[in-house]
Amino acid sequence: MTHDPHPWATTLPSLLDEVWRRLARGVHDRRAAARHPTLATISQSGAPQARTVVLRAADRSGACLRIYTDLHSAKVAELQARRQAALHIWDRGAHLQMRFSASVTILTGAEVANLWAQLPQGARLSYGGAPEPGQPLSDALAYQKSPDPAAFAVLHLDLQEMDILHLGSQHRRARFARANGWAGMWCAP
Amino acid sequence: MTHDPHPWATTLPSLLDEVWRRLARGVHDRRAAARHPTLATISQSGAPQARTVVLRAADRSGACLRIYTDLHSAKVAELQARRQAALHIWDRGAHLQMRFSASVTILTGAEVANLWAQLPQGARLSYGGAPEPGQPLSDALAYQKSPDPAAFAVLHLDLQEMDILHLGSQHRRARFARANGWAGMWCAP
Range 66-85 of B in CB contact (< 8 A) with A: 82, 84-85
Across the interface, whether the CB atoms of B187 and A137 are under 8 A apart is answered yes
* Phi/psi at A77 (5° precision): -60, -40
Distance CA B68, CA B155 (A): 6
- pLDDT attached to residue B4: 79
Across the interface, whether the CB atoms of B50 and A86 are under 8 A apart is answered yes
Among residues B98, B126, B185, which one has the least CA distance to residue A170? B126
Q: What residues of chain B score a pLDDT lower than 50? A: 1
Q: Is the pLDDT of residue A2 over 80?
A: no
- Helices (DSSP H) in B29-142: which residue ranges? 74-81, 113-118, 121-124
- ipTM over 0.95? The verdict is yes
| Residue B180, H or E segment | none
Q: For B138-163, how does the pLDDT look when each residue is reduced to its tens digit (9 = 90+)?
A: 999 999 999 999 999 999 999 999 99
Q: What is the pTM of this model?
A: 0.97
- pLDDT attached to residue B181: 97
Q: Does B35 touch chain A (CB under 8 A)?
A: no
- pLDDT attached to residue B154: 98
For residue A130, name the pLDDT band (cuts at 50, 70, 90): very high
Q: Identify the structural domains of chain A with CATH numbers, from first to last.
A: 7-130+139-187 (2.30.110.10)
Average pLDDT over all residues of chain A: 97
Overall average pLDDT of the A46-60 stretch: 98
Q: Are A175 and A185 in contact (CB under 8 A)?
A: yes
Overall average pLDDT of the A53-60 stretch: 98
For residue A4, name the pLDDT band (cuts at 50, 70, 90): confident
- pLDDT attached to residue B1: 47
Q: Which residues of A touch B172 (CB under 8 A)?
A: 140-141
Cα distances (Å, whole numbers) of residue A170 to A16, A103, A150, B148: 18, 32, 50, 18
Q: For A131-145, how does the pLDDT look when each residue is reduced to its tens digit (9 = 90+)?
A: 999 999 999 999 999
Overall average pLDDT of the A162-185 stretch: 97
Q: How many CA atoms lie within 13 A of B156 on its CB side?
A: 9
Q: For A15-26, how does the pLDDT look when each residue is reduced to its tens digit (9 = 90+)?
A: 999 999 999 999
Q: Is the pLDDT of residue A161 over 80?
A: yes
- pLDDT attached to residue A1: 47
* Smallest CA–CA distance from A10 into chain B, residue: B140
Q: In 3-state terms, what secondary structure has residue B151?
A: helix
Q: For A83-94, how does the pLDDT look when each residue is reduced to its tens digit (9 = 90+)?
A: 999 999 999 999
Q: Is the pLDDT of residue A11 over 80?
A: yes
